[in-house]
């Protein structure tokens, strides 16, 4: 069963897609995390990635981050994709899909909004124009309740 609202988001420790430092979900405990699974062969990801770049820029001062996990079996394809669609948030690489399996994702892209305590608040499968408005509303609500 896919990770659902109320579940503790499974932690992971993955290498960066660019070969940089390892990335763990637990590093962002205390922040709101928008975790996004994507791959270079996923058509809607060409729409969703630029939207998430805007999201990350808009909330750069908030306790928030977009965190992405690339699922290309050949990571260099993901790297090539990011040259065309550069991003401003950390991207981890999970070529064997083990983390995708632990979240049991149902589509591509697939994303999860995670609260500061590490709990899944929203699971979102696919991406259509207009989805970001709904996602942003959930993020704003979560940031507001975290600030109170």
- Which residues would be at the binding site for another protein (CB under 8 A)? 37, 39, 41-44, 71-73, 97, 100-101, 105-110, 126-128
Cβ nearer to another protein, comparing 15 with 44: 44
As measured in angstroms, the least distance from the Cβ of 122 to another protein is 17
Backbone angles phi, psi at 55, to 5 degrees: -60, -45
Angle 89-19-77 from CA coordinates, rounded to 5°: 80
Cβ nearer to another protein, comparing 107 with 116: 107
As measured in angstroms, the least distance from the Cβ of 60 to another protein is 29
Closest CA to 130 of 70, 69, 44, 65: 44
Cβ nearer to another protein, comparing 5 with 129: 129
As measured in angstroms, the least distance from the Cβ of 78 to another protein is 11
């Amino acid at each position: 069963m896919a990770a659902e609202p109320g579940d503790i988001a499974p932690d992971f420790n993955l290498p960066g897609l660019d070969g940089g430092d390892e990335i763990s979900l637990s590093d962002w405990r205390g922040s709101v995390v928008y975790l996004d699974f994507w791959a270079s062969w996923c058509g809607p990801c060409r729409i969703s990635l630029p939207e998430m770049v805007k999201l990350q820029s808009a909330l750069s001062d908030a306790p928030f981050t977009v965190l992405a996990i690339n699922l290309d079996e050949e990571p260099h394809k993901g790297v090539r994709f990011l040259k065309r669609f550069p991003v401003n948030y950390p991207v981890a690489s999970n070529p064997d899909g083990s983390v995708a399996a632990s979240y049991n994702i149902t589509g591509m892209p697939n994303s999860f909004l995670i609260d500061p305590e590490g709990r899944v608040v929203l699971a979102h499968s696919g991406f259509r124009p207009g989805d970001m408005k709904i996602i942003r509303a959930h993020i704003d609500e979560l940031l507001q309740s975290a600030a109170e």
